[in-house]
Structure formats: structure tokens, C-alpha cells
Chains A and B, each alone.
Chain A
């Protein structure tokens, strides 16, 4: 008999009974503290059920409210009773009614016997750990907390504020260095009795009774005064989420808990029958003298907290709808937008798909309908091709499309013919790669066989829309990767910009471009532009195109095919 268990109980008495009997069956004495706010009836039946066991004692009851002194007072009373009653106890293990031993008690006894002078108590100085939730770390020890955080939150907050404003600071007695850590400890008789029989204990108790959450700092601080050998970790596996409340274990955690090799875990859901049956049953757990290793459980809970606090970027749904600027990424992946390319090149879309292996759509924001790649009538996630549905919420349309195709880069065409509402959103999105050949919209006009008056009107309109889009892209708020060439600039050496854009996409396994897309025949384009100018409509977005000789009979040498190095 070397380890005694102190159990703090306030609810789920049936489970507590089961646990207490499990400890005593292995020969460990148990001292139980029942919260003073538990009804007399519940207490009596619990007491009657266990008092016959010679290894179980009940200590004086204190009112235990979370974050208050009561929990420390309870641990003190129970520990005193334990040390006085069971003289051969060497280690005292503080636990609760929701703590379940995961390994046979025998192993815990052997483990502690092999370390007779070690105190297992997590204890760190406040400055060095980021544990605290809610902003009170150093101040826990220097302010006073007479109000309940749960029931008198308003007074609690106001009183803290007042003390901060006045500059009130408590003096920490006898040069104690405040330490904090998990409230579940396992101390040796030597250390524990030194703490409990310290001549200065009244001073310490008076001080700590006004500290915020003293159960995480009283023993943690005082153990530093007496212990010769502190192992700063808790033997109890107890994980806290971002609000500071403990994670709960369920039946489906069984394998995880078994593999953790921890001695004790909390909290276990009281209805997790499989866990209780497995861990409190006899001999069902394999024996091995392994060190506790909660790393995998840590990872799972850390992930859960991250899911709750950061969420999945680019996802908008019923329980994640971030305010502007809080999205951690407005879309979930990179995508490329091309303006003017499919006007200038006759086979740009199939060429791009072949060159990069990405999904290449037509004009997704076309006024007629959504032009998905291959002319499909619906797309990933059952997105419809109805323009009305897309325009009902264009941002949701785009974020959905990018979310639905996670892992596959999307490229699409954009242009001044298209609905423009989305342009601000794309310009601000760092995931967007926007490449524009300005003025290329004039090429289809040039090729078309329409009345010049109509062409002139349309050209003016397209130029106006595109110039607005370019202003958006040049705004200081634009965060996309943006490249703009005038058409004249671009056709000088088209391969170089294409190569840059495609390299930046970073699709793996790409070689240098070996084949160029086929450029539209631009013979006479300069004259076309001049005609527009002559009509009073000055197209300027495409840059300077020289007017070719007006003599139709003059032979022009065929344009050299551009070469790829």
C-alpha cells in the first residue's frame, strides 16, 4: 500500500462509487470529499453505499465552486485525513469522480514505488506558459477576486477593472514565486505534509483564498518550496479546450485511450459504458511498463480547437460565416483568371488545359449562362449553369466552385462582356491570379461582320467596362497576383508572358512550353483601330498599333513564327 487516492466528487455518484471501489479493490485507500452543495439525500445514499469499505473515508465537506478556494480547502481536508489515517501511504493522488484509471492500479503502484521521492505536479511560472484563458495570468496573483465568476460575472469584471484602474496590487507573501499547472497532482507524503503543517500556512491560505483559480496554483506554488524532486507533469490525462473546460472522452475514444498509456484520464462521459466496462473490468488491459504518452490525444484535441477557432479557409456554411476580413482566406485555393487571352488566341482554352493539366472553363460570368469546361450543364457540387442562380450570389458561386474543386486548380476566362460584380472580390483575393491583355476585346469586333456604327458603340462600352476593371486591379487594396499587358505589348513576344503566368501556377511536372496557342490573324487590325478613331472613338487600352499601309496590293512578308527557346 503506497498510494492513497483523494477523490473530489460532486455529481454522477454511481460512477464515483464504481471508481472508488475499483481503487480499493487494488488495495488503495480512498478519501472522498463530497461538495457541500450536494443535497443531503444524495449524500446519504452515496455515503451509506461506501462507508462499509474499510479503505474508504469521508472528509469534512466544503462548498466547491469552480475557480474558488473551496476546491483547495477540500483537497487539504481530504489530504490531512489521508495522511493521518493511512500511515503507510507514500504518495497521495488527487483525482475526481470523473477520473478513470486507464491502466491496472498495480502498474501505478509499481510506477510510484520505483520513484519514491518524486512529486508529480505540473508547475510552471506564469510568465513562461500561454495556458491561461481569458487574459488573467499574472493578475491572478496580484488582484483580489471576492466575486464568483459564474454567478456574479458583472461584479467580477467590474471589480477587476476597478483594481486595474486604481493600480491595486497585492503583495505575495514571503517571496513566493507563483506557479501554475494542472490541478490534478500526485505528491509524496513528505512534500504534502510539509505544505499542510507549514507554520506559515495561515498566511498562505489567507493569500491564496483570494487568488483567482487557486486550485491551479496553491499546491503548484508551495510544492516548489519543499519538494526535492519535482517532475513537472500531471499523471492524469486532462485536456482543456479553448474555453478552459475539459474535453470529454466517449466510447469511440477507447483505442486512443488504451494506446495513450496514461494512468488516469478525465473527464469520461458518465454514460460511456464501454469505457467504464473496459477500464474498470479486471485484467482486460494488457500490462506493460510504458511511460505515459498522450501525444496522439493531444494532436486530436489541438486539431479540434483549431477547427473551432480558425476553421477551414474558404468555407461558408451554417456554422461558419466570417465577418469581412476574418475569413483566413476568402477562397480555399488558388485559381487563375484570364482576360483577353481567348480573344487573341483562337484555341486558348484547350491549349491551356493541355499545357497545365488544370480545369479550364470558358466565361464563368457570362451573361447568358455559366460556361463550365466542356460545356457541361452542371459542375462539381451540383452547381447549376443558370446565370440567374449565379448572379443571385456571385461570391457564393465562386467560393463554392473553388471549395468544391479542392485540389484541382481552376482557370476561367473573364472579359468586359461578363457580369462585373465579382471583380472587386477577385482583386482582393490573394488566391486569385489575374492576367489581362487589355484591349483584346477589339479582336472579335474586328473579325465580326457587323455594321460599323454598332461596332463603334460596343467598342466604347467594352473599353469603358475594361478600364473600370483595370482601375480595380490597380487599387491599393488589390491583393491578387495581377499582370496587365496592353495588347500591343503582348504580341511583341507572347511566349514570355505566357511562360511567366504558367510557371507561377506551379503545376507540378510541367516542362517549358513547346507549343504556342494559335494567334488570330491581325492583318488590318491597325486600320480597324484607326477607323474607330476616325469615328471619334479612341481605343487606347490595346496600346499603339501602327496603321499598315493602306495599299491593299502591297505584299506583306508573312509574319515569322515566334520561336520557343
Chain B
């Protein structure tokens, strides 16, 4: 990469940061418990809207894995989720009514919060329907992972989005608050992912899974990106560029080995496809606040009307991280 290109990326990064700092005015603190954050704490950042039903399990899952503090932007929920979050002892909450789309799908807001509170912390950026799986996650907390990453001088950790879905119609089993969504959405596609390299940012671009298979069989190039880098030892000079798909400086995107080896990586189990999905898809379609003119949601609405089943004969049922590792969806790398 030439000097010119690297300078351009530097300007781009500056621009996203300035934009994020500017966008801080859109956030109004509801409960600010950030004084509780200690220097070694693991932080979780999230933007959400009307996800009340998912919150109890989401918080418990990550508390159990060792997250110390949650910093959450509520994009004008009206389902009581904000009130619920405000009561939690380890949550700091901001509210905004502004456009999700114009905050680049929430990235600007979180870039600001990470700039302000995430410096020198390991920061996890996830949605309430994403559950981080990493090697040995059944026996070791996230801190074991981040300590190991620190010792290995690794600053970012990859976790591809793995879409989970139920067997049968999506609306067959209603989801209850506090319930593990993986009890319902316990199936996934194990081996239909395509990987390409994005030369400009140096990240991988991964597509596939049930969304590509069911919603975009004729237009695979439109299928959503699944590559994510949600766990980063943050520095206030860093910025997410597009969701958590890629970052700047581009060295942070180098989460893969190019010389035949495997780096350690995890997965984000994506439990979007529950009974709540069709309502959500309808609502999001009306709001038009999603990526690429909500093309994804249009495709969903179309397909879901006809035959809302993602499961197929070759779907794989989730057991544990070792299964995902053997299938080659994630890797232990040299962590043992």
C-alpha cells in the first residue's frame, strides 16, 4: 500500500472520528454509571430499538462471561426496554430520537462512546441478538481470552456472524423474556460461506448462510456481509467504518492468516430469526432506516410472506463451540 493510499485512509479515519464526536450531541444520557468503570474492565457497547424481550437474557449472558459494564444507546424504544435498562446496576444508558441511518446505522454513536469511555479497554460491540462464542467459552471467561490476546500482542478478535434459525416456521415457538434464544433458533448453515478480500481496508468480506441461501439465491452479491470484528482493545484513535465489519487503522482488520495458518477466532450467534422477526421486519421496512435502502428487509418481507422456513435437510444443530471449530467456522489458533 502506497503512502498516498495510507494517507487517504488516515484522513478517512479522522473524518469518521470527527463525525462521531459531532454526533455526541444527539445522545442524551439517561443513566450514567460510567464512574464505576475501572481501568481493567471489559466493556460492552450496543445500540438498540425495541428489544425489551431480549434484554434479560442478553445481559445475563454477557455478565456471566465477564463483561463488567454495558454502554447502551437506546434509539427511541417504546416497549419499556429503556426503563428496564435504566434499572440495571451495570448499565449506562443514552437516549436518542435521531436517525439511525444518518448515524451510519449507529456506528457514529458507538464510535463516540468508545472514544470517550473505551480507551485502553477491551470493548465488545454487539447487538442484543448476537452472542459471542470463542474457543473454550464453556470453561474460560472473556477475560482469559483478552489476557491471552494482550500477551500475544493481538489487538482485535474476529467473530463471524452465524445466523441461527428454528426448524419449522419462525412464528411456531414464541420467545419468552429471559429464555435462551438458542433453545428455539438452534440450527445453522455449516458450509456455504464465500470469502473475499477487501483490498482497500484489508478485511475479509464473507457472505453466505441462510440469508443468502433463502433470500438472495439469484442475487448473491446482495447478500449481507457476515464478517465482524466485535472485540477490540480500543484506542481513541480507532474507528469502526461500517458496522463492526471493518475498522481503521486497517491493521486491525488483519484478523486472518495469509500464510496457511489459522488465527484464533470466534463466532457471533445471530438469533434474529425468532417469532419476533416478521413484526420487526415489517416495522423496519416502514422506517426505512437500514442498510442499502433496506434491501435486506425487502427481500425478507417478500420471502417470509410465501414460505417462512429457513431450515433445510442439511441444516446443522448447534451443540457447542468445539462443534463449530471442527466444522471450520471458527478456530482455536494457537490458544490451547
- Could you list which residues of chain A lie within 8 angstroms of chain B, going by C-beta atoms? 241-243, 245, 247-248, 250-252, 269, 271, 300-301, 303-305, 307-312, 315-323, 326-328, 376, 378-384, 386, 388-389, 392-393, 396-397, 400, 403-404
Known: A250-B139, A250-B144, A400-B192. Is A322-B314 also a contact (CB below 8 A)?
Answer: no
Partner of A300, one of B189, B260, B316, B336: B336
In the docked arrangement, what's the CA distance between A315 and B193, Å? 11
The reply to whether the CB of B195 lies closer than 8 angstroms to some CB of chain A is yes
Residue among B221, B315, B334 having the largest count of chain A Cβ atoms under 10 Å: B334
Task: Verify B143–A386 contact, CB threshold 8 A.
Answer: no
Task: Verify B257–A327 contact, CB threshold 8 A.
Answer: no
In the complex, residue of chain A having the shortest beta-carbon distance to the beta carbon of B147: A269
In the complex, residue of chain A having the shortest beta-carbon distance to the beta carbon of B228: A318
Partner of A307, one of B144, B219, B333: B333
How many B residues face the partner with a CB closer than 8 A? 58
Task: Verify A379–B314 contact, CB threshold 8 A.
Answer: yes
* CB within 8 Å of A: which B258-314 residues: 258-265, 312-314
Expressed in whole angstroms, the minimum distance between the Cβ of B137 and any Cβ of chain A is: 11
In the complex, residue of chain B having the shortest beta-carbon distance to the beta carbon of A396: B194
- CB contacts (< 8 Å) of B147 on chain A: these are 248, 269, 271
Task: Verify B314–A378 contact, CB threshold 8 A.
Answer: yes
- CB contacts (< 8 Å) of A311 on chain B: these are 257, 260-262, 331
Partner of A271, one of B144, B189, B256, B329: B144
In the docked arrangement, what's the CA distance between A327 and B140, Å? 31
User: Quick one: CB contact mask for B103-145 with A, threshold 8 Å, 1 for yes?
Assistant: 0000000000000000000000000000000001001110110
In the docked arrangement, what's the CA distance between A376 and B313, Å? 10
The reply to whether the CB of B89 lies closer than 8 angstroms to some CB of chain A is no
In the complex, residue of chain B having the shortest beta-carbon distance to the beta carbon of A328: B260
Known: A251-B139, A389-B212, A400-B191. Is A303-B265 also a contact (CB below 8 A)?
Answer: no
Known: A322-B258, A388-B217. Is A317-B328 also a contact (CB below 8 A)?
Answer: yes
User: 6 A-B Cβ contacts within 8 A?
Assistant: A319-B255, A320-B262, A326-B258, A384-B213, A388-B218, A396-B193
- CB contacts (< 8 Å) of B141 on chain A: these are 271
Task: Verify B148–A248 contact, CB threshold 8 A.
Answer: yes
User: Quick one: CB contact mask for B215-237 with A, threshold 8 Å, 1 for yes?
Assistant: 00111110000010000000000
Task: Verify B144–A381 contact, CB threshold 8 A.
Answer: no
Known: A271-B143, A319-B262, A321-B195. Is A386-B330 also a contact (CB below 8 A)?
Answer: no
Expressed in whole angstroms, the minimum distance between the Cβ of B57 and any Cβ of chain A is: 25
- Could you list which residues of chain B lie within 8 angstroms of chain A, going by C-beta atoms? 136, 139-141, 143-144, 147-148, 151-152, 158-160, 189-197, 204, 206, 210, 212-213, 217-221, 227, 255-265, 312-316, 328-336
Task: Verify A307–B332 contact, CB threshold 8 A.
Answer: yes
In the docked arrangement, what's the CA distance between A243 and B152, Å? 8
Residue among A319, A321, A326 having the largest count of chain B Cβ atoms under 10 Å: A319
Task: Verify A383–B261 contact, CB threshold 8 A.
Answer: no
Known: A318-B206, A321-B204, A380-B314. Is A303-B192 also a contact (CB below 8 A)?
Answer: no
Expressed in whole angstroms, the minimum distance between the Cβ of B323 and any Cβ of chain A is: 13
Q: What 10 A-B pairs have minimum CB-CB distances, sorted nearest first?
A: A381-B191, A308-B334, A319-B265, A304-B336, A382-B189, A404-B191, A386-B217, A252-B139, A392-B220, A396-B194
Q: A384-B217, A400-B193 are in contact. List 17 more A-B contacts (CB 8 A).
A: A241-B334, A248-B151, A269-B147, A307-B331, A308-B334, A310-B261, A315-B328, A317-B195, A317-B328, A318-B158, A319-B331, A320-B256, A320-B257, A322-B258, A380-B191, A396-B194, A403-B191
In the docked arrangement, what's the CA distance between A320 and B159, Å? 13
In the docked arrangement, what's the CA distance between A413 and B219, Å? 26
Task: Verify B334–A384 contact, CB threshold 8 A.
Answer: no
Partner of A319, one of B144, B197, B264, B315: B264
Residue among A269, A320, A386 having the largest count of chain B Cβ atoms under 10 Å: A320
In the docked arrangement, what's the CA distance between A380 and B192, Å? 9
Expressed in whole angstroms, the minimum distance between the Cβ of A249 and any Cβ of chain B is: 9
- CB contacts (< 8 Å) of A397 on chain B: these are 194
In the docked arrangement, what's the CA distance between A248 and B140, Å? 12
Partner of A381, one of B136, B264, B314, B336: B314
